[in-house]
Amino acid sequence: MSYKNSEKHMNKTRRYFGTDGIRGKVGVSPITPDFVLKLGWAAGKVFSGNAEKHTVLIGKDTRISSDMFESSLVAGFAAAGMNSYLLGAIPTPGVAYLTRAMHATAGVVISASHNRYHDNGIKFFSPDGMKLPDDMEWKIEQFIDQSIETASSKQIGRVQVLDQAQRSYIEFCKSSVPNHLSLQGVKIVLDCAHGAAYEIAPAIFKELGAEVIEIGVSPDGFNINAGCGATDTRVLQETVIAEQADVGIALDGDGDRIIMVDHKGEAVDGDELLFVFARYRQQKGALQGGVVGTLMSNVGLELAFNDLSIPFIRSKVGDRYVLEKMLSENWSLGGESSGHIIALDLMTTGDGIITALQVLIAMIEKQQSLHALKSGMQKFPQVLVNVVCGRKVDLAQSSEIQAVLKYAEASLKQQGRVLLRPSGTEPVIRVMVEGRDILFVKQLADEIAQVVENALKA
């Protein structure tokens, strides 16, 4: 199963799947127990066909609704004749790894990633540990429209808890660090966002020898991503300075994205981490081809790669699109400003822990701070404004929106960029403006956002 076949059904509209599975507010269609049960059955029918029993691995994050949806999925898969292994709270990349390592038919993650507890979602992995291609998602949606036909009593699937899932993923992450290296003497502040990595991530860094100060490791079902993690690094930045730590690491709720903090307390986003990662690999002669970014990647990253003669191309926003470009170019490295970094020689999907370890390896081998390693890239000021959107809208058809975009682009005088796009994971329109003057960039972003908001109301 490969992304290379996914073009086949691209022209067929998917009603439920977005850029990262199916996601939304708990209790509001489609994020309801009855729909998720049907989704499990539909996915089971697509994955297993008419063959003998197949196995699906199910992982989840720590939000209050994840247990409920786990039960619904298990029932749906069992009705389709598929056996389920429950992995418990585990990062999304852990499910991807175990799906491939155990030769499972599929992997499923119950998580809304960086969203707050009132949201949840379902995303799938194919046997090779990659997100499902579009044609598979389209096939699942066709079964959702059908009535559930439960397998015969003899063929109903079973469920089993996989006790060693977390330990297997911990050992896998540790194996990405060369045997001759240790994190001994490195002081880390680690923020797990009260999410899926709250037990796993501290164990990994401690077992590799680091001194670890933990925050965001007390999930109660409601505090996931609340004032912590990769989407809010303020507490992490303050703690790094207060503790005089070497580095801070912030994961999101499902552990597939990362933002770091250098010893000066400055946040280091996905673009800067991608720069550090790529330049280190280039210096080691280990960079395969170039690097894939997205439409949101800072222009400073592109200019820095130009200076290093590293090829750089942009994909649509979303790690699935980054991966598609990487595969089509046969490149091994890509990522997003938000902190999804994919290194295909190490993992099949974004992995915050693996990325952090690779950055720490670069710091140790180069004997440089993260602050020094990132200094080769100069970010352009970038402002992102989210405009809440309760309905789908064709931005290209609004004369008011198109007029303000032309005005903004002319005002920047080729010294910046404007990007307007609907989010693939939240009901918002994202307004991004990038340029050399932060005050002017902020003013433009606010003006565009106001026009977009007025157009949506109209």
Helices then strands (H, E): number in the chain? 14, 18
φ and ψ at 281, to 5 degrees?
-65, -40
Query: Do 277 and 260 meet the contact criterion of CB atoms below 8 Å apart?
Result: no
User: Can you give the residue ranges of every domain in the chain?
Assistant: 3-166, 183-264, 269-351+363-379, 382-457
Could you tell me the pTM of the whole model? 0.89
Topology (CATH) of 382-457: TATA-Binding Protein (3.30.310)
Instruction: State the Rg of the chain over Cα.
Output: 22
E strand or H helix at 409: helix 399-412
For domain 183-264, the CATH superfamily is: Alpha-D-Glucose-1,6-Bisphosphate, subunit A, domain 3 (3.40.120.10)
The residue from 48, 84, 111, 113 that is catalytic is 113
| Topology match between the domains 269-351+363-379 and 382-457 | no
Is 269-351+363-379 in CATH node 3.40.120.10? Answer: yes
pLDDT in tens, the chain (458 residues): 444 444 444 446 778 998 889 999 999 999 999 999 999 999 999 998 755 569 999 999 999 999 999 999 999 999 999 999 999 999 999 999 999 999 999 999 999 999 999 999 999 999 999 999 889 999 999 999 899 999 999 999 999 999 999 999 999 999 999 999 999 999 999 999 999 999 999 999 999 999 999 999 999 999 999 999 999 999 999 999 999 999 999 999 999 999 999 999 999 999 999 999 999 999 999 999 999 999 989 989 999 999 999 999 999 988 989 999 999 999 999 999 999 999 999 999 999 999 999 999 999 999 999 999 999 999 999 899 999 886 666 788 888 899 999 999 899 887 788 999 887 767 889 999 999 899 999 999 999 999 999 888 87
The amino acid at 249: I
Query: Do 177 and 210 meet the contact criterion of CB atoms below 8 Å apart?
Result: no
pLDDT of amino acid 398: 85
* DSSP letters for 125-163: E-TTSSBPPHHHHHHHHHHHTSPP-PPPTTT---EEE-T
Class of 3-166 per CATH? alpha beta
176 is catalytic: no
Given CA atoms 32, 131, 294, 438 in this order, what sign does their dihedral have?
positive
Q: What is the largest CA-CA distance in the chain?
A: 69
Angle at 348 between CA 281 and CA 306, to 5 degrees: 35
Place of tokens 């950055």: 359
